[in-house]
Amino acid sequence: MYEISEIIRCENISKTFIVKKGFFEEPLKIQALKNVNLNINRDEIVGLVGESGSGKSTLAKIILKLLKPDSGRLFFLNSDITNASEKDLSSFRKNIQVIFQDPMASLNPRRRIIDSVSEPLFLQKSPKVSEGLERCERMLLKVGIESKEFYKFPHELSGGQRQRVNIARALVTEPLFIVADEPVSSLDVSIQAEIINLLIDLKRELSFSMLFISHDLRVVRHLSDRVYVIFKGEIVEEGLPTNVFSSPAHPYTKSLLENLFEV
Amino acid sequence: MLINDLASERWLKMFESTYSKIIFKKISQKKTAKYSIYFILALILISFLYPIFSKTGYDEINLDKVLLPPSAEHWFGTDALGRDVFTRVIYGGRVSLMVGFVSEGIAILIGVILGSLSGYFGGKIDSLIMRLTDVMLCIPTFFLIISATAYVEPSIWNIMIIIGLTGWMSIARLVRGEFLSLREREFVMYEKAIGNKNFIIMFKHILPNALNPVIVSASFGIAGAILTETALSFLGLGVQPPVPSWGNILTSGKDILEIAWWISLFPGLFILLSVLCYNLIGEGLKDALNPRQYD
């Protein structure tokens, strides 16, 4: 047995949003996350399932250090980065990547594909220009983008191609850890399958861990090594996908599964 | 291997499918905007090339040829000092075009910087900059400019700077609005997540996407700046004689309008046409840059 090293650990993370603030009224608050504990190990795909509004994306943003949790702590490779300044985060930033839900909105509409893909590489690893571009091109070819598309703009590609570009951009820096925030939910079903298989192939080839966020149970079951179920900001279930989906313990998971089979 | 092919191909590809190409196509479909662009380009060419080819200077006084009506020799006639009005209008065009571009350039520079800071950072910086903008908007611009000219020597450069310093507010507001919506977009989140610096995100990633309304507003702004300069020069607060500008040629002709209509008519026509053309270009750009019309 090899020793499992932990990439990300969340401890008791809570986050409340103030929705409305008036001078005299009580501020209206929404608790997005309640004492969330979650960990992601090396080389592991962790699925996070929940309906919309359950706090999945908030958790993703907190893990990416785009939002500050109200309480709780976040660890990266066993060092506490909850209150780290941007300067101290440089090794964290170099080792994480993100794939967003909307492939169009996550690419800068005014930049060519190759420029978008090479952006993180030149920012974080600063290789020689020719070397860096070659790496980007190899990665783009690997995810199935042909070389004639390299100099196009995002609006000239199809949705599936754009998501492939996003995947190439996320993987080109060889990160330790990727947050995939509903990467397939805006694509149609046949393309969803292609993207999922691409992710599985790439995972086999390059090693990285991933937090895969989705509301689609089938996708999560197919892909992940371990599953968390989140309901109204709380993690209600955790375990291997076969266990969680064959014998769900929490009523919410059960209802999720029932809804699935109705379809 | 791959790279060498691509490096040479890169420059070719750059011109293959760009936004600018789409915009040019859209603009040329719109006739008024197209002809306005031709007119402005012709005006720029003539006003900068004419002084090279013509021997007459704008301040060449010839008392034998006072107040001559338009003829083959003097296309726009001569003024009370025997100066060729055509030459003066062309030189005046130089002043007006320069005032338009330079002062709008200053306004865009200030407006874009303040607007992007305000929209990107939000919070206290935003309130501070927006209150400053509100205060500036409260004061009627023209009177602000007139009072500013009381403190500085009324030269063409000072006029440009003053018009620029008092014209940035609407651009700042536009840019702020664009930044407010763009900073929530996922590609901006991505840049933050990979640890890009704020200023790079602002000016390299967000600003190019926020420029469309600025370009449209700049076109209208140039027209406004030309009118302001003309008005100032007409009142004697702008460009000082003997340097000609459309505004001060108008003034010099206003008292003798009944005997020499050509002195005021021609600069007036040029003011009308150039302002109209800038407005039509702005109108055309507004349609051409509208992202909803791309597909």
Distance (Å) of CA B127 to CA A127, B4, B131, B135, B170: 41, 51, 6, 12, 16
What are the counts of helices (DSSP H) followed by strands (DSSP E) for chain A? 9, 10
Tell me: pLDDT of B12 over 80: no
Q: How confident is the model at residue B96 (pLDDT cuts 50, 70, 90)?
A: confident
Give backbone dihedrals phi and psi of A165, rounded to 5 degrees, phi first.
-60, -40
CA distances from B213 to A260, B103, B219, B287 (A): 46, 18, 10, 11
Checking if the pLDDT of B9 tops 70, the result is: no
Lookup: tokens for B242: 């003997």
Contact A147/B2, CB-based, under 8 Å? yes
- In one-letter notation, the amino acid at residue B139 is I
The answer to whether the pTM exceeds 0.90 is: no
pLDDT for position B1 = 39
What percent of the residues of chain A are helix, what percent strand, and what percent coil, each to the nearest 5? Answer: 40, 25, 35
Per-residue confidence band for B291, with pLDDT thresholds at 50, 70 and 90: low
pLDDT digits (tens, 9 = 90+) for A126-175: 778 888 888 899 999 989 898 888 888 888 888 889 999 999 999 998 89
Query: B193 vs A137: CB contact, 8 Å cut-off?
Result: no
Residues on chain A touching B293 (C-beta within 8 angstroms): none
Sorting pLDDT into bands at 50, 70 and 90, what band is B4?
very low
B198, B237 in Cβ contact below 8 A?
no
Rounded mean pLDDT of A7-15? 90
Query: What ipTM goes with this model?
Result: 0.89
The arithmetic mean of pLDDT across residues B268-293, rounded, is 84
What pLDDT was estimated at residue B132? 94
Q: ω before A154 within 30° of 0 (cis)?
A: no
- Give me the phi and psi of A17, to 5 degrees please: -105, 140
Q: What does B67-134 look like in DSSP terms, one character per residue?
A: TPPS-SSSTT-B-TT--BHHHHHHHHHHHHHHHHHHHHHHHHHHHHHHHHHHHHH-HHHHHHHHHHHH
Name the token pair of B23: 């915009």
Task: Name the band, by pLDDT with cuts 50, 70 and 90, for residue B2.
Answer: very low
pLDDT of residue B292: 57
> CA separation (Å) from A107 to A176, A186, B12, B101?
22, 15, 23, 33
Mean pLDDT of chain A: 86
pLDDT confidence bin for B3, thresholds 50/70/90: very low
Both tokens of A108, joined, read 């800068």
How many other C-beta atoms can be found within 10 angstroms of the C-beta atom of residue A40?
Answer: 24
pLDDT at B10 over 60: no
Please tell me which of A19-23, A24-28, B30-34 the model is most confident about, judged by mean pLDDT.
B30-34
Mutate to test the interface with B, among A119, A133, A145 (most CBs of B within 10 A): A119
Of A60-74, A134-148, B11-25, B280-294, the range with the lowest mean pLDDT is: B11-25
Asked if the model's pLDDT at residue A176 lies above 50, the reply is yes
pLDDT at B59 over 80: no
pLDDT digits (tens, 9 = 90+) for B137-153: 998 888 888 888 888 88
Out of A146-150, B13-17, B291-295, the most confident range is A146-150
Residue B215's DSSP bridge partners are none
Average pLDDT across chain B, whole number: 84
Contacts A150 to B, Cβ<8 Å:
6
Q: Of A80-94, A100-114, B53-67, B190-204, which range is least confident?
A: B53-67
Beta-bridge partner residues of A194: none
Best-predicted range by mean pLDDT among A15-24, A52-61, B236-245? A52-61
Domain coordinates in residue numbering, chain B: 30-54+78-293
B→A contacts (Cβ < 8 Å), by residue, are: 2-3, 6-7, 9-10, 13-14, 16-19, 185-187, 189-196, 205, 208-209, 294
pLDDT, residue A4, reads 55
CB count, 10 Å around CB of B271?
A: 24
Size of interface A-B (CB pairs under 8 A): 76
Model confidence pLDDT, tens digit, residues B205-228: 999 888 888 988 999 999 999 998
Q: Which of A193-207, B59-73, B118-132, B155-169 has the highest mean pLDDT?
A: B118-132
A 93-132 near B (Cβ less than 8 A): 93-94, 96-98, 100-102, 105-111, 119-120, 123-124, 130
**pLDDT tens column, A50-60:** 888 888 889 99
Query: Residue B128's pLDDT is what?
Result: 95
- Domains observed in chain A: 6-262 (3.40.50.300)
Residues from chain B contacting residue A94 (CB–CB below 8 Å): 195
Identity of the highest mean pLDDT range in A156-160, B14-18, B104-108, B236-240: B104-108
Residue B273 pLDDT more than 90?
yes
- Chain B residues touching residue A86 (CB < 8 angstroms): 195
Q: Looking at the predicted structure, is the pLDDT value of residue A124 above 60?
A: yes
Task: Work out the pLDDT band at B127, boundaries 50, 70, 90.
Answer: very high
**DSSP helix/strand/coil, A237:** strand
Cβ distance A98 to B193 less than 8 Å, yes or no, reads yes
Give the pLDDT band (50/70/90) at residue A24: confident
Per-residue pLDDT, averaged over B111-119, amounts to 95
> What residues of chain A lie within 8 A of the CB of B14, using their CB?
151
pLDDT at A241: 86
CATH 3.40.50.10470 fits B30-54+78-293, yes or no: no
Average pLDDT, integer, range B7-34: 66
Assign A1 a pLDDT band (cuts: 50, 70, 90). Answer: very low
